[in-house]
Structure 1
Amino acid sequence: MVADGAATTTPIPVRVAILGASGYTGAELLRLLSSHPHTSIVALSGERSAGSPMGSVFPHLAFGPPGGFVHSLPDLTTTAEVVTVAQAGAVDVVFCCLPHATTQKIIAQLPLDKVRVVDLSADFRLRDVDTYAAWYGAPHAAVELQRQAVYGLTELARDAVRGARLVANPGCYPTSAQLPLVPLLSAGLISPADIIVDAKSGVTGAGRAAKVGTLFCEAADGMSAYGVAAHRHAPEIEQGLSDAAGAPVDVVFTPHLVPLARGILSTMYVKLAAGVTADDLRARLAAVYDEEPFVHVLPAGAAPPHTRHVRGSNHAVMAVVADRVAGRAILVCVIDNIVKGASGQAIQNMNVMCGFPEMDGLGATPVFP
């Protein structure tokens, strides 16, 4: 059920700061917030671009809405300066788009009794700090904050998000995998064993920093698997699926890089519980997401969704198909990796935290062609 815009104690307009605004997720936050009726951008950080106007880093933001959104934005500054502004009580919501490991130390400096935080890094997604250390190569530096963090897969955690001061925004792959799989596991319709998640992502998922693997000549005209049997989103997916199943769940997860700017397509292979059909899976998903504005379940016989069907939007579209192998089914889910997989879901979580309608700032229709 979508939040109904219940009363909030947060001042309006909400004063927003974005840490790491010079990356793709930061720019996407600004694009979406440009149409949000209840926010005002008061601080932006970008270490390498500190002192520069936002328009010099992302010129596309200068052309909308009328008058030029970019002209009302503060210049980029350092993370330390934004933290100081937040400590002084001049910020209501902080979006954190910094790299993992860095984020823990920064958020620990923020006054969470006064500021709500939505963290787009991986630092607070894994509840078990030992699991975090094993997958990210260093001990968790803010264990007490981890205990406060709420994992913000909005449609499945709305009540917890509503009262949170710190929300861990889910990863892009885990969003596309958990939205279809969690309701099926919680209802006992599929086996928790032998789940395969085969996922493809556009190049923006690798971030804006220059890397050889994402150069045009390296990424164009081809597709490659990466992080095989070792991708850090695997334990995040397993955490959500284990919660849903009520017992540990292991998945086979392989991500692939495809020559798209944005978009994720995840194909999931599952074993049906005894007596269950693919139609039962579809009916369950349709019932769970019937009143959700952003999650859509295609009817039987419809063509599987394409990434272009959600490009630039906060929508997730999924399909269920009976496998030709008896007792199995195939699920397909598409999202825009930097909207529903990052910045759009972050704004959706902010809306829930602040008591705003969830559609605020997120009403954009997908862009096609």
Structure 2
Amino acid sequence: MIRVGIIGATGYAGIELVRLLTQHPQVELAHLVSHSYVGQDVAGIYKNFKGILAKDLEDMDLDVLAGECDVVFTSLPHATSSEVIPKLVAAGVKVIDLSADYRYNSAAVYEAWYGVPHPDPALLAQSVYGLPELHRDEIKGAQLVGNPGCYTTCSILGLYPLLQAGLVSPENIIVDAKSGVTGAGRNPSANTHFCEVDESMKAYNVARHRHTSEIEQELSLAAGQEVLISFTPHLIPMKRGILSTMYANLTGAYSHADLMAAYEKAYGDESFIVLHEEGSLPEVKFVNGSNYCHIGFVVDQRLKRVVVVSAIDNLVKGAAGQAVQNMNLLFGLPENTALSAPGWYL
């Protein structure tokens, strides 16, 4: 059995990890760490676990985690994960970090977008970007995985095959994305409580959202040159789900079949990528509750442009599910273990 620790177990991403891992046949939930609820039963905080999981929440003890866990998931704010991860890595524990601290190929890029010096450049250089569809072989041999978030996963997977195949221009790409409110985390704020978000929709952090830099990092790898995007996130009045609509200029007179061939070449064997046929586009209700990413597109021959639509559940493929997918790779398990259930739809 894989002995698992979760730091930040009662946040939205952390508790989604708990939910998924209770169904994992090879996992023992050894330690659930929560600063806010030390000593309380997790089923008393999230009552959906009543009768299923009885586990007391603990204060963080890195020596205990290092000695009794095979893998630790860290679901903490940026610049906080890096305070605990080095000790775990030094003890030989595998770590999957859900913050942004270990997702970057360049400390300078992190510092430019987060406005603080990177807290651990040496370990950053050893980490692997945890998007399995792109970096599977590297993940398998890693000790530290920087697990990508919601906007990044949805947008990168939607555009990567087209840039890799040279079918779209790396210039003037637009990503317009909508997220459910759980993407803002569990801590309440005036911007996210019910009366503020219900019956409304708003753009935020326009032209300066931090996930822009991650998307550009991975799409630049696909294109073999620097890619800069215009990224606009929106908050919409639903609990979970991400829908990204992406616009890119075609480099030639390509048909739907031409572009589909690129997607099939890139994702034909992928367990969690669902490609929509011509005339069909993803919706968030197709993916919520699941680890799947649905991708569809329309070729706009009039404007010589493709419009790509991708959808994921921000808490699953955009956070906890992807982390479990990475864990499965780290321990040589079938990648879809505990993750193959379809979306809820309703």
Range of TM-score over shorter length: over 0.9
TM-superposition CA deviations, 1:89-120 (whole Å, max 9, x none): 21101001011010111101213452111100
Distance 1:221 1:324, change over 3 A: farther
Tell me whether 323-332 or 333-342 shows the greater mean CA deviation.
Answer: 323-332
What does residue 53 of structure 2 align with? 70
Distance 1:219 1:332, change over 3 A: same
Q: Aligned match of 2:19 in 31, 34, 50? A: 31
Q: Aligned match of 2:292 in 315, 329, 350? A: 315
TM-superposition CA deviations, 1:13-33 (whole Å, max 9, x none): 000000000100111001111
1:247 is the counterpart of 2:225: yes
1:130 is the counterpart of 2:108: yes
1:49 is the counterpart of 2:3: no
Residue 43 of structure 1 aligns to a residue in which SS?
Answer: strand
Task: Give me the whole-angstrom Cα distance separating, in 1, the residues matched to 2:17 and 2:87.
Answer: 22
The residue type paired with residue 242 of structure 2 is I
Task: Give me the whole-angstrom Cα distance separating, in 1, the residues matched to 2:115 and 2:49.
Answer: 36
- The Cα shift of 1:278 comes to 3.5
1:361 is the counterpart of 2:338: yes
Task: Give me the whole-angstrom Cα distance separating, in 2, the residues matched to 1:320 and 1:23.
Answer: 34
- The Cα shift of 1:222 comes to 0.8
1:296 is the counterpart of 2:274: yes
Task: Give me the whole-angstrom Cα distance separating, in 2, the residues matched to 1:277 and 1:237.
Answer: 26
Is the 1:278–1:329 Cα contact (8 Å) retained in structure 2?
Answer: no
What does residue 352 of structure 1 align with? 329
Task: Give me the whole-angstrom Cα distance separating, in 2, the residues matched to 1:57 and 1:133.
Answer: 36
Task: Give me the whole-angstrom Cα distance separating, in 1, the residues matched to 2:120 and 2:81.
Answer: 10
Q: Aligned match of 1:85 in 64, 75, 93? A: 64
Task: Give me the whole-angstrom Cα distance separating, in 2, the residues matched to 1:111 and 1:233.
Answer: 26
- The Cα shift of 1:305 comes to 1.2
Aligned residues: 346
The residue type paired with residue 314 of structure 2 is N
What does residue 278 of structure 1 align with? 256
Task: Give me the whole-angstrom Cα distance separating, in 2, the residues matched to 1:366 and 1:131.
Answer: 35
TM-score (norm 1): 0.92
TM-score (norm 2): 0.97
What does residue 184 of structure 2 align with? 206
Gaps of 5+ in 1: 1-12, 63-67
Task: Give me the whole-angstrom Cα distance separating, in 2, the residues matched to 1:357 and 1:160.
Answer: 16
Q: How is 1:156-167 mapped onto 2 (pairs within 5 angstroms)?
A: 156-167=134-145
Residue 308 of structure 2 aligns to a residue in which SS?
Answer: strand
What does residue 313 of structure 2 align with? 336
Task: Give me the whole-angstrom Cα distance separating, in 2, the residues matched to 1:193 and 1:112.
Answer: 42
Q: Aligned match of 1:183 in 140, 158, 161? A: 161
What does residue 9 of structure 1 align with? none
Residue 341 of structure 1 aligns to a residue in which SS?
Answer: helix
Tell me whether 104-113 or 343-352 shows the greater mean CA deviation.
Answer: 104-113
Is the 1:177–1:266 Cα contact (8 Å) retained in structure 2?
Answer: yes
- The Cα shift of 1:336 comes to 0.2
Task: Give me the whole-angstrom Cα distance separating, in 1, the residues matched to 2:307 and 2:89.
Answer: 45
Task: Give me the whole-angstrom Cα distance separating, in 2, the residues matched to 1:282 and 1:320.
Answer: 9
Residue 212 of structure 1 aligns to a residue in which SS?
Answer: coil
- The Cα shift of 1:69 comes to 2.8
Identity %: 47
What does residue 7 of structure 1 align with? none
- The Cα shift of 1:208 comes to 0.1
Superposition RMSD in Å: 1.2
Distance 1:107 1:77, change over 3 A: same
Tell me whether 307-316 or 278-287 shows the greater mean CA deviation.
Answer: 278-287
- The Cα shift of 1:324 comes to 5.4
Q: Aligned match of 1:262 in 240, 246, 251? A: 240
Residue 125 of structure 2 aligns to a residue in which SS?
Answer: helix
Task: Give me the whole-angstrom Cα distance separating, in 2, the residues matched to 1:137 and 1:288.
Answer: 35
Q: Aligned match of 2:97 in 109, 116, 119? A: 119
- The Cα shift of 1:279 comes to 2.8
TM-superposition CA deviations, 1:290-324 (whole Å, max 9, x none): 2212101111122x111000010001001010125
What does residue 126 of structure 2 align with? 148
